Amino acid sequence: ENSDTMDVLGQIARKLRVKPRAFGTAGTKDKRGITVQRCSAHRIDHKRLIGIGRQLRGVQLGNFSYGAEELRLGQLAGNRFCIVLRYVQGADENGLEPVLEALRNTGFINYYGMQRFGTQSISSHTVGIAVLKADWPLVIDLIMRPRPGDHSEAARALYMQGDFAGALRAMPGRSAVAERAVLQAFVNAGDSTNAMAAFGAIPRNLRLMYVHAYQSFVWNAATSLRISLFGVSGAVPGDLVIKAKGLSIADADADADADNDTQVASDTEPTLVTVANAHEYTIYDVVLPLPGWAVRYPEHQVQNVYKELMDNDGLSPASMDKHPMKEYRLAGAYRHVVVRPRDFTHQWMRFTDDTATLTQSDSDKIDGKPLPVSVPEGIHVALKLAFDLPSSSYATMLLRELMRKETAAGHQSTLSSSNKAN
């Protein structure tokens, strides 16, 4: 709770005195929520995990078993969500039913959510551009640059003064994994001259997130143009299609250097839509590529956005296999443009107590806590949603389609505070 996957694995690794790469996951969980996921621990006895589990804040470890394979990114079939929207105003059950029905039956545009790009003033995809250009001093500068008002402001100021040890002591431990890794590398080296080695000290999953964020940024732009030009009524000539299969596991081995948490690997050959075959496909089959050297691009106007956007950043799709370091040579992947949630259900609830729990977490079930119920005389209205999404599809994008509001954490916190005051 209130921790993302990298944060939790970092805590566990430090307490066990092992490297974070000893742990594997099929996907990453966001900080904003109470989440559950499977994790593999390479050559670590479960008794050690039980021991340190009692020392972790907001984290429970359990359901231990032994297996022959570690978990890897790309092996995730999908995610189950249960989300409560509190203080619903300006709409009732009858008024929102058509919107909910449309989400259930029609789905939503499969944009990457804002959390893909980070919540800092310097977005993850900006760092990703520098990584793809192998500009290591700029990479470190972007990661460590002062961010006024940020909780790490004091630590960053010490870094700028050249006090790496002081900055490391002052840097928050749970929310600054990359920054702490860079500072530790500089402390160990005694100087900051080897920017490439310092970046390499950051856990691999996090390093790859920067370049994947850039791929996602380009994909979002291409998707916006595709929808603007051709709508969502169906496939059109020039589109690429791969038959949608619902919640399917991507082939991680086939695309080990690309964005493994996308739905379809780069070695899956898409079909080009023509006038003759367009009737065979729906909008749910349409895919667009994340830029890379091994993917095919659509054969209509949308193809141009890849070249134009990447040209502006000093990159190109054709150069994605030219990086001096193999792990940043991106093959690319395909992502469906529109997705539908599965097993979509909703429930209206009423409540008065702002702190009342309105849904039941897995931890609540283990502890035997009862399922929360609606209070008929409650003064506030809440809408509880439950649904499945394929791997790498964002629940925040579904919520944005429903609410027509910004889903960023800061904006939602402001809304909640305002409603509590009222």
> How far apart (Å, rounded) are the C-alpha atoms in residues 248 and 244?
9
> How far apart (Å, rounded) are the C-alpha atoms in residues 225 and 230?
8
> How far apart (Å, rounded) are the C-alpha atoms in residues 209 and 213?
6
Long-range CB contact pairs, 181-190, < 8 A, 24+: 182/140, 182/143, 182/144, 183/159
Given its phi and psi angles, is residue 231 left (phi above 0), alpha (psi -120 to 50 degrees) or beta? left
From the list 81, 175, 73, the residue with the least C-alpha distance to 119 is: 175
Burial classification of residue 299, based on how many CB atoms lie within 10 Å of its CB (0-12 exposed, 13-18 middle, 19 or more buried): middle
Concerning whether 388 is annotated as a catalytic residue, the answer is no
Q: Decide: 76 and 316 in contact? Cβ < 8 Å.
A: no
> How far apart (Å, rounded) are the C-alpha atoms in residues 130 and 111?
23
From the list 119, 121, 126, the residue with the least C-alpha distance to 218 is: 126
> How far apart (Å, rounded) are the C-alpha atoms in residues 334 and 332?
7
The C-alpha R_g of the chain, in whole angstroms, comes to: 23
Strand ranges of the sheet holding 342-351, from the earlier edge strand across to the other edge: 78-85, 380-390, 342-351
Terminal CA-to-CA distance of the chain, rounded, Å?
28
Three-state SS for 2? coil
Three-state SS for 223? helix
> How far apart (Å, rounded) are the C-alpha atoms in residues 39 and 24?
6
> How far apart (Å, rounded) are the C-alpha atoms in residues 103 and 112?
17
Q: 4, 7, 30, 163: which is the annotated catalytic residue?
A: 30
Neighbours of 415 (CB within 10 A): 16
Q: Which residue has the tokens 């729990």?
A: 357
Q: Which residues are marked as active site?
A: 30
